[in-house]
Amino acid sequence: MSKSFAVLPCNGLDKGAGCISREIALHLIEKSDSEMICPVLYRVADARYTKIAQEKPLLVIDGCQTRCASKLASEKGLKVTAKLTVTEEAKNRGVDLGDSLRLGQNEVKLAEMVADELLLEKEPEKASESETASDSEIVYPETYDYEVYKKDKFIFRVPKEGFLFNENDSWAYISGNKARVGVTDYVQQSLSDIMFFTPPVVGSEVEQFGELGAIESGKAVFEVVSPVSGRITAVNEELSVAPELINQNPYEKGWIVEVELTDLESDKELLLEFEGYFKILKRKVDDFHV
């Protein structure tokens, strides 16, 4: 357990999840050389905490979807290395968080488990890197040829070749046994300015139509619906610090994850090529987009 972080927990005081974020941070400090950033004091002690955040990988722990810690990291322009939300961690582990601010056995155990996993996480990633060394040779094009549909001042691009889409406005660009995945222009235009990106866990399995993290703007939260099934091998880390890349171009620098495919042939039965998706996009834009 040699990893250490600069830990920025939300430290919420009004919900158990906020208290658990603090507890996770305290566990990390007890078990490693991690240092905690107080989200309140950080607003007045800028230099001290900015230095800590620059010296160690920054871990942001939000209690709930209000995401106060993420917002603070974003306001301060910090590079976020890892991010988690307690309510989501609890859900993924089947832990029912009560209303009490007093942490019970389950909550304490959850905090300990999450902290231990964070400290151990690097090992499987390393193994995975060596296993898939040949995969790193995949080079994705930097730009694509687009068909454009315009509505009022809004422009909706759809790449013409090499992409498969689902009706949930996600795409997959297939290359060998891997796919790069993201959302379409329809999503980014509908959400408007994207402010937050919650990545899925690298190494985890995803089913077709399963969730691949979430993106959030001032208008709404959008859960990315996976067009393919497989194992997540990479997350676009740039989005943690610059989620607006999705607005700029969701097919190029705004891609979301890479997935090692497990059942592409079967997945394809429920996916659309350019022509099919372009028709759906136009209908959606005409019907719903204002």
Partner 1 sequence: MSINMVKIGVVSCSGEDCLGGTISRLVTRKMLEIRSDATVTICLPLFLAGGVEERGFAEKFPTISVDGCSKACAKRATEKYSGKVSAAIDVSDFIGKEVAEAGALSSRNLTDEHKAMVEKVVGEITTRFDEVLRAAQRDQVAKVAKGLAMVGNGPSGGCGCGCGPK
Nearer to partner 1, 1 or 108 (CB): 108
Least distance (Å) from partner 1 to the CB of residue 11?
A: 4
DSSP string over 96-137: ---S-SS--HHHHHHHHHHHHHHHHTHHHHHHHHHHTGGGGG
DSSP string over 269-289: TT-B-HHHHHHHHHHHHHHH-
Nearer to partner 1, 10 or 174 (CB): 10
* C-alpha to C-alpha distance for 134 and 125, rounded to whole angstroms: 15
Least distance (Å) from partner 1 to the CB of residue 75?
A: 8
* C-alpha to C-alpha distance for 259 and 262, rounded to whole angstroms: 9
Taking residues 67 to 86 in sequence order and writing x for each that binds partner 1 by CB under 8 A, - otherwise, the string is -xx-xx--------------
Distance of CA 5 to the CA centre of its chain: 19
The reply on whether position 96 binds partner 1 by CB under 8 A is no
Interactions with partner 1, residue window 2-41 (CB under 8 A): 9-15, 18, 22-23, 25-27, 30, 36-41
Q: Which residue has the tokens 């190494």?
A: 203
The reply on whether position 179 binds partner 1 by CB under 8 A is no
Interactions with partner 1, residue window 39-68 (CB under 8 A): 39-41, 43-44, 64-66, 68
Least distance (Å) from partner 1 to the CB of residue 4?
A: 16
The reply on whether position 214 binds partner 1 by CB under 8 A is no
Nearest CA to 80 among 168, 202, 199? 199
Choose which of 55, 93, 108, 204 interacts with partner 1 (CB under 8 A).
108
Q: Which residue has the tokens 């871990």?
A: 59
CA 279 → CA 45, 142, 154, 275, 283, distances in Å?
53, 25, 17, 6, 6
Give residues in contact with partner 1 (CB under 8 A): 9-15, 18, 22-23, 25-27, 30, 36-41, 43-44, 64-66, 68-69, 71-72, 99, 101-103, 108
